[in-house]
Amino acid sequence: MISNDEKRFLEPGKHLMMGNVAMSEGALSAGASFFGGYPITPSTEVIEHLSKRLPEVGGCCMQMEDELASINSVIGASLVGAKALTATSGPGFSLMAETISMAANLEIPFVFCDVQRNGPGNGYVTEPHHNDIGFVRFAGNGEFQVIALAPMNCQELFDLTITAFNFAETYRCPVFILSDAYLGHLHEVINIPPKEEILKRVIPRELPEDTSGRMFTYKDRVSGEYVTPKPPQMGTEYCPGLFIHQPHGPDGLPTPKPMEFIEAIIDKININKDKICLTDTYKIEDAEILIIAYGLPVRSSYRAVDIARKEGIKVGLFRLITIWPFHDEVVKEVVKNKKAIIVPELNYTGYIAEQVERVTDLKTPIIRVPKVCEFHHPNDILEKIKEVA
């Protein structure tokens, strides 16, 4: 629990910050009071910064023995009412997958910062590489839906962390912040808003007044809508006797999960896509060629669009801030009647390009611009634009 509110917020105004630090400060502003982590390059600065800052505000920052323990301690803290987060990189994420699935199925909210690096875990591994995008979508055994946000600069690392905590509280699911090795170590000036403004944005952790109600997401029989109650808290009246999101048989033991339960976990997010899926557009009104990007390549794409426009090529940029869930309907609308779609991604597989292919008609060519361990120069994207123009 946060006991010292004075130190929680930084002085409003401009601060020069590293991406990882901006993310940590965003978490503190959002009211995070527990961090469990294990050092891994390039996310180490998060645990370093929070182990200094969290005790200052009365929270707790724990360096656990491994990633498995860190994620478990995080959901443990979330169970007793602390807003909790962890930060790691790809190899740590692989270890944590098991528990992420459990947390998603038990609807335990927490925020997960994945500072992506190129994999696997051995060798030279400290370069940016968006290779966890697909893994995040299906992170673990069991069916569930997560929310993943992709910031592109330090300011967004701060802002989107607050948004991530709000999503976690509202929809009770793991929320991922997909940073990367370059963004995490980038120093930029960020603008910290005043305390009052931040507090207006933050959704605090609360117990519902009605302690006898349902504790997991359910479909309201009358309205047919999914209702997600506030997260239960161990040690209070508002907690199930057995914390498991499963029906139970006459002897009290859990029985196999019927499909409604899985439906509820996935659809509670999918039906709220309009609220969750944050997007941004740049000069797409009259665009013939469309760039769809997320994360760092967005920055290069802005420049590529500007240069191409000067040369008379009608290009627009559609930016995904929320990657998962993928908003099919919105993307479908955006890619309509386009000459070509360019998807620059920091990976070879093209996780988002695959999604775009899924919603685009077959005539429209989809051009991937893969790049690994370094990110796109505006000219890389410009080249492709000129090819199809």
Partner 1 sequence: MARYEIRIIGFGGQGVITLSKMIITAASLYEGLAATQTEAYSAAARGGKCWAEVVVDLDQDQSQIDYPKALAPYDFSIVLSEEGASEMKKGDLKDEKNTGFLLWDTSTIKKFRTAKRVKALGIPIQKLALEKFGNSVFGNTILFGAFMKISNIFSEEAAIETIKKFVPESTLDTNLKAFEFGKQKGEKFLQTLMEAN
Partner 2 sequence: MSGVGPMYPQEKPEHPYLESSYVGNLLGNYSSRFCAGCGYGIISQLYTRTFEDEGLDPKKYPLIIGIGCYSQIILLVHHSAQKILTLHGRAPALATGIRMGNPKMKPIIFSGDGDALGIGGNHFVHLCRRNLNCVMFIFNNGIYGMTGGQAAPTTLFGAKSTTTPYRMFERRIDGIEIALAAGATYVARTTVAHPRTFMKYFKTALKHNGTSIIEIITPCITNFGRKNLDSLGNENMNLEEDISKMDSAGKMIEWIKKNTVRINQAKFMDERELFNKYVIGEFRHDTSQIEYSEQYNRIKDIAQGRR
Q: Which of 2, 15, 39, 58 binds partner 2 (CB under 8 A)?
A: 58
Q: What is the DSSP string of 83-147?
A: -EEEEE-HHHHHHHHHHHHHHHHTT--EEEEEEE--SSSSSS--S----SHHHHHT-SSS----E
Q: Which of 31, 313, 375, 384 binds partner 1 (CB under 8 A)?
A: 375
Please report whether residue 266 would count as binding partner 2 according to CB under 8 A. Answer: no
Q: Which of 224, 252, 256, 312 binds partner 2 (CB under 8 A)?
A: 252
C-alpha 203 chain-centroid distance: 17
Total site size for partner 2, rule CB under 8 A: 59
Question: Between residue 330 and residue 389, which ones bind partner 2 under the rule CB under 8 A?
Answer: none
- The CB-of-17 to partner 1 minimum distance in angstroms stands at 11
Amino acid at 49: H
Q: Which of 34, 302, 318, 324 binds partner 1 (CB under 8 A)?
A: 302
Question: Between residue 268 and residue 327, which ones bind partner 2 under the rule CB under 8 A?
Answer: none
The rounded distance, in Å, linking the Cα atoms of 43 and 19 is 10
- The CB-of-185 to partner 1 minimum distance in angstroms stands at 6
Please report whether residue 189 would count as binding partner 1 according to CB under 8 A. Answer: yes
**Phi, psi (rounded to 5 degrees) for 35:** -130, 125
* Of 77, 4, 89, nearest in space to 34 by CA: 77
Cβ-contact 49, 58 below 8 angstroms: no
Question: Between residue 166 and residue 225, which ones bind partner 2 under the rule CB under 8 A?
Answer: 212, 214-216, 218
Long-range pairs for 162-165: beta carbons < 8 A, 24 or more residues apart: 162/26, 162/29, 162/30, 162/198, 162/201, 162/202, 163/278, 164/30, 164/111, 165/27, 165/30, 165/31, 165/32, 165/83, 165/85, 165/111, 165/202, 165/203
Of 56 and 311, nearer to partner 2 (C-beta) is 56
- The CB-of-68 to partner 2 minimum distance in angstroms stands at 6
Please report whether residue 121 would count as binding partner 1 according to CB under 8 A. Answer: no
Q: Which residues contact 92 (CB under 8 A, 6 or more apart)?
A: 38, 40, 43, 67, 70
Binding partner of residue 239 among partner 1, partner 2, none, CB cut-off 5 to 8 Å per kind: partner 2
Beta carbons within 10 angstroms of residue 86's beta carbon: 32
Of 7 and 377, nearer to partner 1 (C-beta) is 377
Cβ-contact 89, 43 below 8 angstroms: yes
Of 75 and 293, nearer to partner 2 (C-beta) is 75
**Phi, psi (rounded to 5 degrees) for 213:** -75, -175
Of 5 and 311, nearer to partner 2 (C-beta) is 5
Please report whether residue 81 would count as binding partner 2 according to CB under 8 A. Answer: yes
Q: Which of 24, 29, 33, 322 binds partner 2 (CB under 8 A)?
A: 33
Q: Which of 1, 98, 138, 185 binds partner 1 (CB under 8 A)?
A: 185
Torsion angle (degrees, nearest 10) of CA 179, 199, 268, 334: -60
Would you tell me which residues interact with partner 2 (CB under 8 A)?
1, 4, 7, 33-34, 36, 52, 55-56, 58, 60, 62, 64-66, 68-70, 72-82, 84, 98-99, 102, 212, 214-216, 218, 234-237, 239-248, 250-254, 260-261
Would you tell me which residues interact with partner 1 (CB under 8 A)?
14-16, 41-42, 44, 126, 153, 182, 185-189, 296, 299-300, 302-303, 374-375, 377-378
